[in-house]
Amino acid sequence: MVEKMSLIGKHYSALPTPCLAVNRRAMEGNLSSLQRFLDSKGKSLRAHAKTHKSSRMAALQLEKGAIGVCAAKLSEAEGLIRHGIEKVLITGPVVSDEAHDRLIRCLGLASDLIVVFDNIENARRVSRKVAPLGRTLRCLIDLDPDFNRTGVPLGEAIHFAHALGELPGLDICGVQAYAGNLQHIASLAQRIASSQSALKAVADVFNDYKSQGFKMDIFSAGGTGTVQADVAIPEVTEIQAGSYVFMDVEYAEIEWGSFLDHPGTFESALYLLSTVVSTNHQGFVTIDAGLKSLYRDGGIPSVIQPAQTGATYEWFGDEYGRVNLQKPDPAFSLGQKIKLSISHVDPTVNLFDNIFVVENETVVDVLPIDLRGCSQ
Ligand SMILES: Cc1ncc(COP(=O)(O)O)c(C=O)c1O
């Protein structure tokens, strides 16, 4: 096996494939663009680490101005905390007895830990473990903006908050509302209208909470797709964007309009590097990137380099892909490197141990995906 650090300084074509590589300029641009955009709107960024699953990337997001990072699961939070990142919001439910013990261990290591609740019995169980320790766990009420995945239905939100507020050891500091169903609506106008309508309903509850005396410091919402819409809701304090750092085909295909420094959207920074491994047939070649290196959901990867050849990717099994050619083309001869776009970024990143960082065609760094597999 090639020692990955020994590849630093080499041309990217020396990378063993299939592998993930990121264009450093585009990635840094995405990090800065969103941070600047949110700063200009008076909103904070709590970047979601579920996309990159890398404690080093999380540290970079904090360095660039994020107020914290999100973890989708407890083990993701544990990984971040292990690497010294204490400002972690766990955005999904933590429900088992064993997980509650781990949550409390995390609290001992990261005083800035925040967790969401959407079930009162579950909150009661956590409270029973936290309160006797004399500690306080900060929490957000996870409100369901009609996504129906997790979250308290808005009609039950007031009752829920009063019940949660009774529990010792838990400190309610705001709400979370994530509308995952709206992030990829293709029409910008429709996406903005849908997200604003969903979040306005949540904002009404947020304001009711405030008028009933609940401390509401945080309204954590949104993702990459709805960021333009969500910053216009005055009650929203922070955005939980994740994919913006790398982007993918799913996001590249929706309408963005123009809202960042550069016209359009965030740049596609991440790509999959593959090699032509067989050329024995007319009309197509076989490359070494299949289902084990590209998550299938979210669209068909496109051949981004060699560029403008009209070549198209087709799934060809676990280890292989088929690249259909319009005409015989020496750019697709045996051993040639092919760059593919990523269909769906988060689950694709979770297939690799590291991402090679490339600048001016040279490998300049290796980013460990150290939270890979932290799905528990
Ligand atoms: C709760 C939550 N918040 C934020 C995000 C980030 O969304 P995106 O990657 O679209 O920015 C996700 C993604 O699935 C999520 O589940």
Q: How far is CA 235 from CA 77, 201, 254, 259, in A?
A: 26, 11, 26, 21
User: Average pLDDT in the 141-167 region?
Assistant: 98
Quote the pLDDT of residue 344: 93
Higher pLDDT, 252 or 262: 252
- Give the chain's largest Cα–Cα span: 72
Distance 253 CA to ligand 1 centre (A): 17
pLDDT of 108: 95
35 Cβ inside 6 Å of ligand 1: no
CA–centroid distance, 250 to ligand 1, in Å, is 13
Q: Tokens for 63?
A: 């360095």
Q: How many percent of the chain have pLDDT more than 90?
A: 93
Q: Span 89-116, mean pLDDT?
A: 97
State in Å: Cα 180 to ligand 1 middle.
7
* Ligand 1 atom at minimal distance to the Cα of residue 92: 1
Mean pLDDT calculated for residue range 225-236: 96
What is the pLDDT of the chain when averaged over all its residues?
96
Tell me the mean pLDDT in the region 200-224. 98
pLDDT classification of 264: cutoffs 50, 70, 90: low
Give the N- to C-terminal CA distance of the chain in Å, as an integer.
29
Q: Separation of 147 CA from ligand 1 center, angstroms?
A: 13
Segment 51-57 shows an average pLDDT of 98
Atom of ligand 1 nearest to the CA of 91: 1
Is residue 136 within 8 A of residue 171, CB to CB? The reply is yes
Identify the three-state secondary structure at position 154: helix
Distance 223 CA to ligand 1 centre (A): 5
- Report the percentage of the chain scoring pLDDT > 70: 99
Query: Do residues 245 and 227 touch, judged by C-beta distance below 8 A?
Result: no
Radius of gyration of the chain (CA): 22
Question: Is residue 222 lining ligand 1, measured as CB closer than 6 Å?
Answer: no
Q: What is the pLDDT of residue 298?
A: 82
Report the pLDDT averaged over residues 149-157: 98
Cα 195-196-198 angle, rounded to 5 deg: 65
23 CB near ligand 1 (under 6 Å): no
Q: How far is the CA of 282 from the centre of ligand 1 (A)?
A: 43
Which of 183, 246, 251, 346 most suits a substitution to test ligand 1, by most atoms within 8 Å of the C-beta?
183
Answer with the residue of higher pLDDT: 70 or 253: 70
CA 67 to centroid of ligand 1, rounded, Å: 16
Distance 292 CA to ligand 1 centre (A): 23
**Residue of 178, 202, 246, 346 to mutate, ligand 1, most atoms within 8 A of C-beta:** 178
pTM of this prediction? 0.96
Say yes or no to pLDDT of 217 above 60.
Answer: yes
What span, in angstroms and rounded, lies between the C-alpha atoms of 48 and 339?
26
| pLDDT score for 36 | 92
Supply the residue whose CA is at minimum distance from atom 12 of ligand 1.
Answer: 223
Q: Is 97 exposed, middle or buried, given 0-12, 13-18 or 19+ CB atoms closer than 10 A? A: exposed
Does ligand 1 come within 6 angstroms of the Cβ of 224? yes
Using one digit for the tens of pLDDT, what is the confidence trace for 341-354?
Answer: 999 999 999 999 99
Of 367, 184, 347, nearest to 265 by C-alpha is 184
Q: Please tell me the predicted confidence (pLDDT) of residue 263.
A: 52
pLDDT for 66: 98
Which pair of structure tokens corresponds to residue 7? 């590849």
Ligand 1 proximity of 48 Cβ (cutoff 6 Å): yes
Give me the pLDDT at residue 41, please.
94
Q: What's the rounded mean pLDDT across residues 321-340? A: 96
* C-beta of 160 in contact with ligand 1 (< 6 A): no
**Whose C-alpha lies nearest to ligand 1, atom 5?**
223
**Lowest-pLDDT range of 130-144, 196-210, 249-263:** 249-263
Q: Is 285 helix (H, G, I), strand (E, B) or coil?
A: strand
pLDDT at 111: 85
State residue 326's pLDDT score. 94
pLDDT at 262: 57
Residue 95 buriedness (CB in 10 A; 0-12 / 13-18 / 19+): middle
pLDDT average, residue stretch 167-173: 98
Nearest to 185 by CA among 285, 92, 255: 255
Q: Are strands 68-71 and 303-305 parallel, antiparallel or unpaired?
A: unpaired
Q: How far is CA 217 from CA 60, 116, 140, 176, 250, in A?
A: 25, 14, 10, 11, 33
